[in-house]
A and B are shown apart, each in its own frame.
Chain A
Amino acid sequence: MSMNRREFIKITGLSTLFGLAGKGAFELLRPGVLDAAEHGHGHGAPAPEEPAEAAIRWGMTIDVEKCSEPGVVERCIKACHSVHNVPDFGDTKNQVKWLWEDDYEHTFAGNENEFMADHVKALPFLCLCNHCDEPPCVRVCPTKATFRRPDGIVAMDYHRCIGCRFCMAACPYGSRSFNWFDPRDALNQKEYNMEFPTRMRGVVEKCNFCVERLAKGQMPACVEAAPQALAFGNLADPDSNVRQILRKRSSMRRKLELGSKPSVFYLV
């Protein structure tokens, strides 16, 4: 049984043409086996791991009418920014913001109800990172500097941030700010919160839902500053404070149509 080179090439060429050799043949005769072997699992491809139902998903409710009481919004912003050493450069171009105030038109841009009651349209809205369940910023981050913790908080690892600002482009809520300058230039050294770091020039920063305070069993700084207007709790627990509030009050969320599933609820 001999075969010369020319015959061999003819036969392999023809059999490939009819799908009888190579990967195609494997798929025809033993479907799935080759792929499985390539992935090193042996017996068929395993089903991708389904994430277990999270026990905690932190969320916040903001009572917009109570936020309109004098001083409430300012008090929350001041509490947040002083606890986290957020610099104030004094202009909107270089502004760094974790918690800020905006109007109805901008907060609910795109899906605003043009027949919303006049008094709601005139209210101030506290804005912050929505700690989305499907955070678009996390999907675009090339270094995994921003990531979603199992408890739903979208966290930043400033050690890894390379300042590419993809996350700023991806965030539909404008919740992220870039440090164009050294934030320490705009901070008063005497007013540092010594228990929390600052950031450095060239990283993106945002609200962290006070993860460092939650670890100590404290409420977020803004909630502590205005407990009558803000509530913080576990959205995954049907009996939690926020779920009870949401069961009784009607709420709005920002840009729901994008599917990012924000965890901040505006009570109207």
Chain B
Amino acid sequence: MYDAWKILVGLAIFLGLFTFAFWMNAGKAAPVPEVKIDTPEIKKMPEPERKCVEDKHFMRTTHMQLINHWRDQALRDGNREYVNKKGEKYVISLQNTCIKCHSNKKEFCDKCHDYAGVSPYCWDCHIVPPEEPKEEPKGNEL
């Protein structure tokens, strides 16, 4: 191989630059977000009865499909009642069911969405309750 050392040095520089993003950020993984469910509406429910429309695991993994399904059900099919796996009935509405309890968008929705790098456009139209700055210190006591 002619000019072996020039080629090897060039390759090393290229690889260094190419993998820059990896070694620059090595060991700096963003912490897994802890979502907060300490809204007034949820606090009203006694501890053992705190539940969402479906179980926690289902909501974590499938809420996007559920919300999409709810949208089509309510808007296009005119069916505004959801029956969950346990047979309990809920009103299909993002603003009147989901956000009634999860009124802390910043601490609930945004935390995970930012972590996952997704930006759903729900809030372009659906109204988020104003998160009063007065209450924040109380909520962040932990």
Q: Is the CB of B78 within 8 A of A151?
A: yes
Answer yes or no: A93 CB below 8 A from chain B CBs: no
Q: Is the CB of B76 within 8 A of A147?
A: yes
Q: Give the complex CA separation of A155 and B77 in angstroms.
A: 11
Q: Give the complex CA separation of A85 and B95 in angstroms.
A: 14
In the bound complex, residues from chain A placing their C-beta under 8 Å from that of B76 are: 147, 155, 157
The verdict on A200 contacting B125 (CB below 8 Å), with A195-B95, A195-B96 known, is yes
Q: Is the CB of A197 within 8 A of B75?
A: no
Main secondary structure on chain B at its contact with chain A?
loop
Answer yes or no: A158 CB below 8 A from chain B CBs: yes
Instruction: Looking at the assembled complex, report how far the CB atom of B11 sits from the nearest CB atom of chain A, in whole angstroms.
Output: 49
Q: Give the complex CA separation of A198 and B96 in angstroms.
A: 14
In-complex Cβ contact of A198 among B71, B78, B125 (8 A): B125
Q: Give the complex CA separation of A189 and B127 in angstroms.
A: 10
Answer yes or no: B130 CB below 8 A from chain A CBs: yes
Answer yes or no: B10 CB below 8 A from chain A CBs: no
Q: Is the CB of B95 within 8 A of A197?
A: yes
Main secondary structure on chain A at its contact with chain B?
loop
In the bound complex, residues from chain B placing their C-beta under 8 Å from that of A211 are: 78
In the bound complex, residues from chain B placing their C-beta under 8 Å from that of A158 are: 125
Query: How many cross-chain pairs have Cβ atoms below 8 Å apart between A and B?
Result: 35
Q: Is the CB of A194 within 8 A of B125?
A: no
Which of A155, A189, A197 is the most central at the interface, judged by chain B CB atoms within 10 Å of its CB? A197
In the bound complex, residues from chain B placing their C-beta under 8 Å from that of A197 are: 95, 125-127
Which B85-142 residues have C-beta < 8 A from chain A?
A: 93, 95-96, 121, 124-127, 129-130
Answer yes or no: B43 CB below 8 A from chain A CBs: no
Instruction: Looking at the assembled complex, report how far the CB atom of B127 sits from the nearest CB atom of chain A, in whole angstroms.
Output: 6
A120-156 to B contact mask, C-beta < 8 Å, 1/0: 0000000000000000000000000001011100010
In the bound complex, residues from chain A placing their C-beta under 8 Å from that of B93 are: 195
Answer yes or no: B69 CB below 8 A from chain A CBs: no
In the bound complex, residues from chain B placing their C-beta under 8 Å from that of A215 are: 78, 80
In the bound complex, residues from chain B placing their C-beta under 8 Å from that of A155 are: 75-76
Q: Give the complex CA separation of A85 and B124 in angstroms.
A: 13
In-complex Cβ contact of A157 among B75, B124, B130 (8 A): B75
The verdict on A159 contacting B71 (CB below 8 Å), with A147-B76, A151-B78, A196-B95 known, is yes
In the bound complex, residues from chain A placing their C-beta under 8 Å from that of B125 are: 158, 197-200
A188-208 to B contact mask, C-beta < 8 Å, 1/0: 010010111111100000000
In the bound complex, residues from chain B placing their C-beta under 8 Å from that of A150 are: 78
Instruction: Looking at the assembled complex, report how far the CB atom of A112 sits from the nearest CB atom of chain B, in whole angstroms.
Output: 36
9 A-B pairs in the complex with CB atoms less than 8 angstroms apart: A85-B127, A158-B125, A159-B75, A195-B95, A196-B95, A197-B95, A197-B127, A199-B125, A215-B80
Known: A150-B78, A157-B76; 19 extra A-B contacts, CB below 8 A, are A147-B76, A149-B78, A151-B78, A155-B76, A159-B71, A194-B95, A194-B127, A194-B129, A195-B93, A195-B95, A195-B96, A196-B95, A197-B125, A197-B127, A198-B125, A199-B125, A200-B121, A200-B125, A215-B80
